Amino acid sequence: MDKISEESLLSIPGVGKSIACDLRNIGILSVSDLKGKCPDTLYEMSNKHAGTIQDRCLLYVFRSAVYFAEGGRERVKLNWWNWKDNR
């Protein structure tokens, strides 16, 4: 594992070691790799890699992470729970 990449992913609010690992498993090695990505597609890829449907909270973190990677810094939007599905 590349220490610089891990540190880069860990700079994303809401991303810890486990989610950084999930991201690396689907080819996301740095914050910049998230730019322009579809969070839903990332979630589907992660589910496929894991061989199971993971908790939707992971999708919410992916949404927040893409927002962050694309330069978003609005404090409330950096909390993954604010990216839940509207129901």
Q: Which pLDDT belongs to residue 8? A: 93
Res 85 pLDDT > 80: yes
Instruction: Kindly report, residue by residue over 4-20, the tens digit of the pLDDT.
Output: 666 699 999 999 999 99
Instruction: Pull the structure tokens for residue 79.
Output: 């909390």
Q: What percentage of residues in the chain have a pLDDT greater than 70? A: 91
Q: Which pLDDT belongs to residue 86? A: 85
Task: Sort residue 14 into left (φ over 0), alpha (ψ -120 to 50) or beta.
Answer: left
Instruction: Kindly report, residue by residue over 51-81, the tens digit of the pLDDT.
Output: 999 999 999 999 999 999 999 999 999 999 9
Q: For residues 64 and 58, what is the distance between their CA atoms, to the nearest angstrom?
A: 10
